[in-house]
Amino acid sequence: MVEGPGCTLCGERLRARVRRGQAVRRARGSAESERKVRMMESLDVCSPKFSFSRAEGEIKQQQSRMLCDVLLDQAVLPGVGNIIKNEALFDSGLHPAVKVGEKFRDCF
């Protein structure tokens, strides 16, 4: 059994404590959750299945966003936290506020 804020997960059943004024929109099943984890595995920089080309494609789609925001977006690069972000930006000499599209126009 796994418990978190507002819910209890017991096998396939999910019980949510809904307070007045709140509603449950959707509960994701375990098969769907496992599929989503497998899809994100190739984007996780800490995974042995990391795919540079897939990560590059995801970053290319973020042209108008600041580099620091893209690096911390778990939907783009899961597994990247502040330490990895800071080290990567420092080592590359890039400013975190630069837009992805401005800096990497010629790189991708």
Range 42-108 classified under CATH 1.10.8.50:
yes
SS in 3 state form for the chain? CEEECCEEEECCEEEECCCCCCCCCCCCCHHHHHHHHHHHHCCCCCCCCCCHHHHHHHHHCCCCCEHHHHHHCCCCCCCCCHHHHHHHHHHHCCCCCCEHHHHCCCCC
Residue 49: band (very low, low, confident or very high) from pLDDT cuts 50, 70, 90: very high
Q: What is the pLDDT of residue 76?
A: 92
Q: What is the pLDDT of residue 36?
A: 83
Q: Is the pLDDT of residue 68 over 90?
A: yes
Q: What is the pLDDT of residue 21?
A: 76
Domain(s) of CATH 1.10.8.50: residues in the chain: 42-108
Cβ neighbours of residue 30 closer than 8 Å, sequence gap 6 or more: 12
Render pLDDT for 84-96 as a digit per residue (tens, 0 to 9).
Answer: 999 999 998 999 9
Q: What is the mean pLDDT of residues 60-64?
A: 91
